[in-house]
Each structure stands twice: as structure tokens, then as C-alpha cells.
Chains A and B, each alone.
Chain A
Amino acid sequence: MNFDFSDEQKFLRSEARKFLESAWPAARARGVVDDAAQSHDADMWRALAEQGWLGIAIPEPFGGLGLSRIDLCVIAEELGRVLAPVPFASTLYFLAEAVMLAGTADQQADILPRIVAGELIGAFASSEGPGVPTPATLRTTVSGGKLTGVKLPVTDGGIADLCVVLASEDGKPGLFLVDLNGPGVSRETLKTLDPSRGAARIAFTDAPATPLGAPGAGFDLAEQLLDRAAVLLAFEQVGLSDRCLEMARDFALERYAFGRVIGSYQAIKHKLADMYINNTLARSNAYYGAWALGTGAAELPVAAAAARVSACHAAAYAARENIQTHGGIGYTWESDCHLYYRRARQLGLVAGASIAWKERLVGRLEQRNAA
């Protein structure tokens, strides 16, 4: 048994951390938040492409590095720590994974190399309103290869080139690829909780759409896609949670009240100990998810849901209590605390809310126990 990153992966992690913290610190996310016209950091995105990170888990024949999903997890954790304001998740965990999961050989050969080169930003569009989309609520339709409907919010929908859309054709839900720069697409920027990760409302009117995967398999494929994304996002959440704990710890060691550093008070110590506990559990669950994802284990659906629920909890708690630990200064615009708080929420919703994943988790446990 070996339940840890390999030496190579640890090396990758420390190199990635050095690179990001020196060249692309969390201040980049603030730059995007402060500039209403921006919804991502294009320079950073180019830099990630140059590092080869966009192709880390994409097979060599498509121009990628052909490393494992676990290596991708390593990068995800580091991106989470610095709140990287780039469409990494939309492009890699959703578009690239969808194409690798369900795409034809031609689709893969066309799309994956462009992703690796940083020429193609992806997005995933399933939500059409409040609540979890279901076959009964799905309104977007495809007919004669043309897609019509409204999707919101679509993370990175404003800047993406190619979108994976959940829609039904002849009453059967499927996944479709739509060129967002093509005809029949109009987009509108949405105001969101985390402006460092933009989102849009996209109206499709007879937009040309090509099927991705088997007809009728839309919800199955979306679920598999969400499982993969959940594991990868869990690492971004773990990175964020650990960073919040470090920020809170560092502050607690510097700030004095009543003649003592606040970190000497048990109310603060115990709060940080609880953060540490949550973060540790989330990390361990994420590792298990990474293992299941990396090996294609049958455990993936349960492991992914567990990683998701655990990571959502850790990140929400760490981001919230980091502000509390900082007191008034933590509630100012100038403090980075709110950037983490916003991102924690964004990450906690972008692949579906924790409460929905809890339901999914218990459903899967029931199935497993019945089997």
C-alpha cells in the first residue's frame, strides 16, 4: 500500500508552488475582481499553457504530457492555494474530460491539441435556473443539429470558445458541443459572488451543435463528468482551505489583544484546530478520490462524492473562520480574506452544491450495500 504522492509528484508540487507564489500570487485574483471588464487573467492562462500544465493529463498523441490524473490533482491543489483566476476547471475538468470520456477519435484529435496549446477555452452548460437540473426540468433542445435554449450560469461562458451543453433531442437528454464563437449564440455577463471567476448567461438560438457521446446518455455522462470534476475541484478546495488556515494562523501569531497574541486564546486555538481537522479529513478523502480517478476504480462514484462533500465543508469553514480570526481587518475589501471566502463558495457550487452531493453519496451507498 502506498497512500501518498510519489516523489516525482511531490517535486512537481513544490516546483508548482514556487512558480505560482512568486509569479502568480493571489493578488492576480484581486486584479480580476477589481477590474469589471476582466473575467480571467489572460497572461496567467498563457503562462500555464507554456508550463505544459494544460496538457498534463492529456495523452501524448494529442500533444499532452501524458501524465496521470493524480498529477493533475497536484496542480489543482496549487492553483487553489493562489486562487488562480483562470478557466482551468472549465477547460480541463469539464471540456477536456468530456471529450476524453465520450468524444470520437476525430473529436479528440481536433479538440485536445488545441486545449494543450492554450488556444481553446472550454465551458460546461447544464444549469437553467435554481436547483439541480433533471430530465424533467431540462428545457434546452436540439433539433436537426441546431440547439436552442438559455443556460445560466455558465462559468467562463463569457470567454469560452467551445461549450459542452446538456440538452434533449427527441425527448432524450444528450451532451452536445457548441462553438460559442459561431452563429446563434449571445452571451451576457452575470454578476456573481466570485468575480475572479466569471460566469455568463448564454442564449442559444438554432446554434449548430454536434453530439458528444451516445444519444440519450446526457445525464449519465454529465454525472460521470461531475464525478471527475468533483475530485479535481476537491484538490483546489484543499489548497484553498490550507491557505486559509495558514493565513489565520499567521495572523493569530501577530495580533495582540489584552496583552497576549490572540493565538494564545483557546477560542481561537480550538477554532484553528477544528480547521486543521476538517482540512486533514478533506485532504485524505481527496487522495482517495484521486486514487479512484487515476486508476478508474469502481469506487469512483462513492469516492468522488465523499471527496466533494468533505472538501466543500472544509473550504466553507476555513474561509469563513479565517475572516472571523482576522476581526475587522478581515472584513475589509483590502484584506485577501474575502477573495478566499468568495472562491470557496464558487468552488462549492460550480460542480453542484454540497447538499445535492450528500444526497448522491447516500444514494450510491445504498446501491453499493444492496449490490
Chain B
Amino acid sequence: MDFSDTSEEAAYRAQVCAWLDANAPDRLPRTAPTSEQLRAAKDWQAKKAAAGYAQISWAKEWGGPGGTTMQNVIYNQEEGRRGLATGFFGIGLGMCIPTVIAFADEVTKKRFVGPALRGEEIWCQLFSEPAAGSDLAAVRTSAVPDGDDWVVNGQKIWTSGAHYSDYGIVVTRTNRDAPKHKGLTMFWVDMTSPGIEVRPINQMSGESGFNEVFFTDVRIPDGQRLGAVDNGWKVSLVTLMNERLSIGGGGGGADYARFMELARGQTVGDEPALAHSAFREKIADWYVRTEGMKHTRMRSLTALSRGETPGPESSIGKVVAALQALNVAECAIDMLDAYGIIDDPEISPMRGAFQSLFLGMPGLRIAGGTDEILRNIIAERVLGLPGEIRVDKDVAFKDLPAGR
């Protein structure tokens, strides 16, 4: 076992650091209006792409520098250390574009991959519907052929970033007589197409990162189809696989550290909170899980860097991280006693970081697969336990029961 960079890795890291020191913006305007944040993020993405630091492991063919997975990791570590990750491009570059690359024709790929990489165009993922969340294959939004076009009607929901996205990938129902997994078809779509209406939804945190998207007689040319007709489930699985990789792989690890910092400065009774065994025991538990996750990621990366497929251990990331961050936030707020109720970056400790985690983490436990669904996946795919009893398997979609 060896944690140090190899000499090539160390050289790459030095090169990345030198470039970041010379080129990185001081800080990105996180509390500014979305439009300002977006502008800054796009500028930064363009700069990265020009210097060969966007999608480092993508082949030259797709505008990446054709670097190694480890180079990608090293860059992300250094960018993360400087607080420069933005999140605006994750869904597009992490999920939509890989799906486009896998299923679109050459012209389409040439047209879209570069601009996405340079941050010029933003993508969203139009999968979930009011009646199709965990049970994604239950989508009802219909696509009906009409000449060379498809006519799409229905409603998507929880679509992150739809309000500033230029394009999206959308999964639709094209065959109601087939069982639900067998009647879906995927398209890419221009978000400015007539008939698309995006309505922001207010999240419980007060932000509005996601939206409802209504499709009314939206015409999508058949050339925008991704994969075969009625084969959309297979296509969406590719997107979802990439989603789990990109969501599970993220950082967010320093939560115990921020908690310790808070506990050092706060008093409980006449002692620093950090001296209290109730808090100390929790810090130890969180540290151990955070580090365990970090080292688990290293194990996956080791496999990747040898050209092997990472083991199933990478699937536990989000289950561990989201719930723990929520626990940390709850405990930090408790430490402040009655004062903890205040949610104001001007006067809440750490600029309200824990209040914002408290309001944000319930969403992360749901987005990209709920804790329950992810546990099912671990139990079934990793441990080989039987799948859920299916009452919907060989039933035509139109005959399935539906509740709220």
C-alpha cells in the first residue's frame, strides 16, 4: 500500500497547483443571484476547458485532454481544496452528455459535446414525474409519432437546473400496451422548444434549484431520439449509472471538522462544548465514517487506475454521506441551544453552514435515489438477495394501478 503520489502524479499535481494559483478566481460569488453565479461559473469552466482541466479523463475526440482517472482525481482534490467546484455542470457533463455520447449520431455528438465541456451550454435531466420517482419506469409523459416528429405531452418534476438549462434529456412513454419497462423512449430536447414551460418549485430550504416542466404538444424530431424506440429504459440506465458514480463520488467530507471548530468556540455550561463527552463521542463516530468513505473511494480509484472496474463498495457513498451530514447539522444546532433556531448568515456561527445543511440534506437523501432504494441496490446487486416482489412486471402499462 502506498498513498504517496507516484512521481508522475506528483508532477501532475504540481502542474495543477501552479495553474490554479495563477488562474483561479479568488472565490466564486456563492450568495449572489443565480445569474451572477452562473456567469462566473461559465467563465471558470471555459478557462478550465481551454487549459485542459475540464473532464480530464475524456478522450481528445470529445475535447478532453485524454488524461488518466488519477489525474482527474488530483485535479478535483486541488480544485476542491480551493472551494471552486460549482455544481452547474455536473448533471450535464456527468450524466446527460455521456448518454448522448453513448447513443446519439456523430453529428449530434460533434455539435453538443464541446459546448457542454466549455460551459457554454447547460443540460438537465428530465426523468422524474409526479407519479414516477423511485419507480422511474412508471413515467406517463407520452410521445406520439407524427411524420418525422414525435409529439410530447406530460409533466416532469424535480428537474434540477431546468430554469437555466439549454438542453435536456427526456424519457417518455411510447407504448402503453407493453409492460412499463418496455414502452419507454429517450430523446434530447431543446429547452426553448415551443410548448415547454418551466416553473420553478420552491424547495423546503427556500432555494429553488428544481422545477416542474410541462410539455404541451412539444414537437421533437425523430433525429433527436437516443437509442431505439421503446428501448428508453436501457438508455436511462446508462444515465443512472453515471449519476450514482458522480453523486457518490463527491466530497462534502469535512463536516466533522467544521463541527469540531464550532465545538471549540462554543461553551456548554462553563466548559467548551468540545470538552463534553456527548459531543466528543459523536465526533469520533463521524470522523471514522468520513475517513472510511474517503479511503473506500481510494480503493475504488486504485481499481480504476489499474484499468479494473471498481468493486461494489463505491455504491455506499451517498447513503453514508447524506444522512451523516444531516446528523452533524442537527447536533451542531443543538449545541447552540435556543440560539440554534436562528438561520442568518450574518449572526449564525460559520455563516449559518449548519442551518443550511439542516435544510439541505433531507433533499440529498432523496435526490439520485433515496436511502431506501440505495439499500435495496446494495442488498440485491452486492449481496445477491432477491429483488422486490413485482406485481407490475408482465402487466401492460395502461393496466397498472396508480395511487397519488
Interface residues of A (CB under 8 A from B): 1-6, 70, 245, 249, 252-253, 260-261, 263-264, 266, 268-270, 272-274, 276-277, 280-285, 287-288, 290-291, 294, 305-306, 309-310, 313, 355, 357-359, 361-362, 365-366, 369
In the assembled complex, the Cα of A50 lies from the Cα of B214 at a distance in Å of 74
User: Interface readout for B305-322 with A: 1 if CB under 8 Å, 0 if not?
Assistant: 100000001001001100
Cβ contact of B1, chosen from A253, A277, A290, A365, cutoff 8 A: A290
Residue positions of B touching A, CB distance < 8 A: 1-6, 9, 70, 260, 274, 277, 280-281, 283-285, 287-289, 291-296, 298-299, 301-303, 305, 313, 316, 319-320, 372, 375-376, 378-380, 382-389
The answer on a CB contact under 8 Å between A369 and B260 is: yes
For the complex with contacts A285-B292, A294-B1, 8 further pairs of A-B residues with Cβ separation under 8 Å are: A4-B1, A263-B385, A269-B376, A270-B372, A281-B293, A282-B292, A306-B287, A362-B287
In contact, B385 and A361 (Cβ under 8 angstroms) = no
Q: Is the CB of B288 within 8 A of A2?
A: no
Task: Tell me what chain A mostly uses at the interface: helix, strand, loop, or mixed.
Answer: helix
Q: Determine if B292 and A361 form an interchain contact, defined as CB atoms under 8 angstroms apart.
A: no
The answer to whether A362 touches B9, judged by C-beta atoms less than 8 angstroms apart, is no
Residues of B within 8 A of A2 (CB): 1-2, 302
A201 to chain B, nearest CB (A): 30
Whether B301 contacts A288 by the Cβ 8 Å rule is no
From A1, A261, A269, A291, name the one whose CB has the most chain B CB atoms within 10 angstroms: A1
- Say how far A247's CB is from chain B's closest CB, in angstroms: 12
A-B contact pairs, 19 of them (CB 8 A): A1-B2, A2-B302, A3-B1, A3-B301, A4-B302, A253-B385, A261-B386, A264-B386, A277-B316, A280-B316, A281-B288, A281-B320, A284-B293, A284-B296, A291-B1, A306-B288, A313-B285, A361-B284, A365-B287
Q: Which one, A3, A264, A266, A290, contacts B299 given CB within 8 A?
A: A3
Inter-subunit contact A3/B302 (CB<8 Å): yes
Is there contact, CB below 8 Å, between B299 and A263? no
Closest 4 pairs (CB-CB, A-B): A281-B292, A358-B284, A269-B379, A284-B295
CB-nearest residue of chain A relative to B316?
A277
**Distance between A107 CB and nearest chain B CB, rounded to angstroms:** 30
Specify which chain B residues have a CB less than 8 angstroms from the CB of A260 in the assembled complex: 386, 389
Assuming the A-B contacts A2-B1, A358-B284, are A249 and B385 also in contact, with contact meaning beta carbons closer than 8 angstroms in the complex? yes
Total number of A-B contacts with CB less than 8 angstroms?
152
Residue with the greatest number of chain B CB neighbours at <10 A, chosen from A268, A277, A287 = A277
Q: Which residue of A lies closest to B70 (CB)?
A: A1
B70 partner residues in chain A, CB cutoff 8 A = 1
Which residue on chain A has the smallest CB distance to residue B374?
A273
Residues of chain B within 8 A (CB-CB) of A270 are: 372, 375-376, 379
Are A359 and B277 interface neighbours, CB within 8 A?
A: yes
Contact with B284, one of A3, A282, A309 (Cβ below 8 angstroms): A309
Q: Report B375 CB to chain A, min CB distance, Å.
A: 4
> In the bound complex, do residue A309 and residue B288 qualify as a contact, i.e. CB atoms below 8 Å apart?
yes
Docked-complex contact A358 and B385, CB < 8 angstroms: no
- Decide: B2 and A284 in contact? CB cutoff 8 A: no
Nearest CB in chain B to that of A5: its residue: B1
